[in-house]
A and B are shown apart, each in its own frame.
Chain A
C-alpha cells in the first residue's frame, strides 16, 4: 500500500472531501500524503488475521434516555451564527435544478 499517490488520486480524494485545492496544493498534497501513507504502510508488517477491529475503547452500546420532549434551540439563538438568513430561515444557494450536484 506504499505506492506513491498521484495528483489524480489527490483530486479524486479532494472531490470526496469537498475541498477545493489549487494545482500547487494538489502537487504538495501528493508529496505529503505519499510520505504519510508510506509511513503508515508499516502496519502491513503485522499479521492481523483473526483480530477483531477495535472501533471504540468503551464496551458500551445503546445508551438510551426516556423518550420525553426537551426544549430545542430558540430560532434567534440557532440563527445567530448563520452566514446568511432570510427571516426565520437559513439562506443557502439554490440546490435544485442546475444549482445542484453537491
Chain B
C-alpha cells in the first residue's frame, strides 16, 4: 500500500487564476483541459452531445437507460460485479448524467490509482457489453423511480416534473429524463445498441480532463476515445414550448397532507448574454436558492411560517431539495422562469399561490430598488465563487461553457457583469423577459376539485393563523388574500397522480 502518498496529499488551489485551455483535437473532437498540478486527484468529464431530447417517440427514457448501461453495466472485459470489485479499493467510481441535451460521464481518481482506474473508466465508454441482466436490473430501478418515488415520495420534485411536462408538451423536453413507464418497459437491448451506435461517436464528444494529470494522459485519452466510430448525429431543433395563454393550472390529485406548488413560463434567453446576468440579479433577489435573504422566502416563510422555503430560477435546477449550489452539465437551449413553493398546509394553498404571484407581479411592475440591486450584486459577486470550489466542479463549468459557446467562462463573466450592470439594465431585462399574465402552475394537492372551484371563483382566501401576527402582516394579508388570479375554468385540469408518466 502506498501509504506515503497520504502524507503528501495537497489540495487543489481554489479560485486562483488557473490556465483553462480549450483546443480542438486533431480528430475534430473537442478537448477541455484544466490542469491543477498540486491536485492529487484527476477528474474526468466526457460529454456526449445527446440527451433525453433525442429519445424516439415511444422510447422515452432510451438516452438515460443507454447512459446507465455504460456507467452501471458490464463491459466486454469485465462483468459489472468485476468492475465493482476492481473499483472498490480505489475509492473511485464513475457515473453518467443524462439530462435533456447533455450526457456526461464523470469520474475521479487519486493519482496513485490512475492506471487501474483509467482502463475501467474508458472500457465503460468504449466497450459496453449490453447484457440483458444489466438492462433488467437498471430498468427495474428506473421503473421504481417513475412508478413509486417520483409520484409518491417527493411532491416537490413531482410538481416540477409536471410543470415541465405541461410547458413542453409534444417536445423532447416534456418527459422526465428517466422516461415514461410504458416506454421504458418497451426498450430492448437492440434499441440501446442502435442508440449507442448513433450517438456515442468520436465526433459527438468533448473530453474534459482536470487535476494533477500529466501530458501523456491527454494523448492517451484522445487516442483511446478516438476508437469510437465516426458520425455527427443531427441535433433536434430547439423545442417550441406550449406557452400558456393566461394562468393555466394543472392540479395533481393526491392524498397529500400538504400542497406543493411550482409555476413558470418559457423564456427566450440563456446564460452568456448581458441580459441573462441582469435577470440573475433580479432572480437572486426574488428567490435565491436556499437563501433566507431572498424576497419570496421572507414573505412566505420568514414572516408567515407557511413552509420551509420559496425560491425562483432562470435555469433548470434539478434535485433542488438535495443541493445547495447549482448543478453543472444540465444545459438547455430553452429555459423557463420558475418559482418553487415548498409544501404549505392545504388550507394555505390558495393564499400561498396568491402571495407568490403578487410578489412576482410587484417585481415585474416596479423593478428592483437601488439598495436591493446593490446588495444583491455584491452578494452574487462573491457567492458565485462557491459554485466551483473543486476541480471537478470547475471542469463541469468548463464543459458548460463549451455547451453554451462561451469563450469567456460563465463564472468569470458572472463576476464581471456584477461590476458592470446597472439597476437600469436589470429593470429593463425584467420588463423584456418576465411577465405575469401567462403562467403555467403545477400543484400537488388533495381535494383538487374544491381547489379548482376556489380558483375559478377567485374569492378572497383569508389566512388564519394559530398564533399572533404583527398588524402589518395582517394588513398585507388582506391584500394578498384578495389578489385576483383571473383563472378561467377551461385553464384548469385535474390529473390523478396514478395517471402521470404512464406513456
A and B form one complex: no
